[in-house]
Amino acid sequence: MIYLRSTIFLAGQVLFTLVFFPLSLISIGMPPLRRSRFIAIWARFVIWWLRQTCNLTFRVEYEAPLPESAGIFLSKHQSAWETIAFQCILPPHAWVLKRELLWIPVFGWGLALTRPVAIDRDSGRKSLEQVVEQGRKKLAEGRWVLVFPEGTRMPPGEHGRFNVGAGLLAQKTSADVVPIAHNAGSCWPKRGFLKKSGSISVVIGKSISTDGKNARQINQQAEAWIQKTMHRIENDLNKNSG
């Protein structure tokens, strides 16, 4: 049944994307926050459809309320799931991503409508400047900035080196950092077609003040929390499955 359910999910996702994309063009003239909320309709459908077809749900745990002012999310990256679900869970935000993703037909064009922080990862120091320059503008618009500091999706149980970009943006703007841990890769694997039924755990941590800290210190504090929380999530998953 998992093959059938995953096929039905994919078919519905593709069909709705083809229908919704032309409609999404009307958001071009909208203010940034309203545009983000409008485009999130697509994500809400996909998450609902995922629940109906694959019986895949999620639960969110907040360690503390989010700050009132827009800040920076630093999140674990395991799956395509979080890029969709976070549009439903989190306040309006802009991803930091490689600009090549915007060239993908239909998907990339829709992604461009969200006005992400699109950077050239091969440009070295210049890419950090792009994160700070564009990220500062998103924060000024009242949008959060979402960063996957490992840079790529990591399989469950693995941890990648944190890039310094998010910490540098936080240092330059004095914006609070909110770390996020989750285990989406256990149900929706990296490059995986099959979607396993279950419940994904998302834990949103307390905000990290950036006052008096440099980029490395900010990253280290967020990374330590994410690793500790991932260990707890994975242990809970193993206990429940056992």
d(CA 196, CA 57): 10
Residue 56's DSSP bridge partners are: 198
> Residue 237: which pLDDT band, with cuts at 50, 70 and 90?
confident
At 84-141, the pLDDT tens digits run: 999 999 999 999 988 888 888 777 777 788 888 988 877 777 888 999 999 999 999 9
Q: What is the pLDDT of residue 200?
A: 97
For residues 195-210, give the mean pLDDT: 96
Residue 108 has what pLDDT? 78
What Cα–Cα distance (Å) separates residue 160 from each residue in 89, 104, 137, 152, 221? 24, 26, 28, 8, 15
What is the mean pLDDT of the segment spanning 55-82?
Answer: 96
Number of domains in the chain: 1
In the chain, the amino acid numbered 123 is S
Mean pLDDT confidence for 228-239: 87
Alpha-carbon distance of 81 to 51, in angstroms, equals 12
The pTM of this model reads 0.93
CATH number at residue 97: 3.40.1130
154-167 residue pLDDT tens: 999 999 999 899 99
With cut-offs at 50, 70 and 90, classify the pLDDT of residue 242.
low
224 pLDDT exceeds 60? yes
Residue 240 scores a pLDDT above 80: no
Determine contact, residues 154/81, Cβ cutoff 8 Å. Answer: no
Question: Which residue in the block uniquely carries the two structure tokens 């910490």?
Answer: 167
pLDDT attached to residue 134: 93
Element housing 175 (H / E): none
Task: Give the chain's mean pLDDT.
Answer: 91
pLDDT digits (tens, 9 = 90+) for 36-64: 899 999 999 999 999 999 999 999 999 99
* pLDDT score of 28: 86
Determine the pLDDT at residue 106.
72
Q: Provide the residue range defining the domain that includes 229.
A: 2-241
Q: Encode pLDDT of 131-162 as tens digits.
A: 999 999 999 999 999 999 998 899 999 999 99
CA distance 119 to 144: 17
Residues in contact with 166: Cβ distance below 8 Å, sequence separation at least 6, in sequence order: 72, 74, 96, 131, 145, 147, 149, 177, 218, 219, 222
pLDDT score at 53? 98
Residue 73 and residue 147 in contact, taking contact as beta carbons nearer than 8 Å: yes
> Is residue 11 very low, low, confident or very high in pLDDT (cuts 50, 70, 90)?
very high
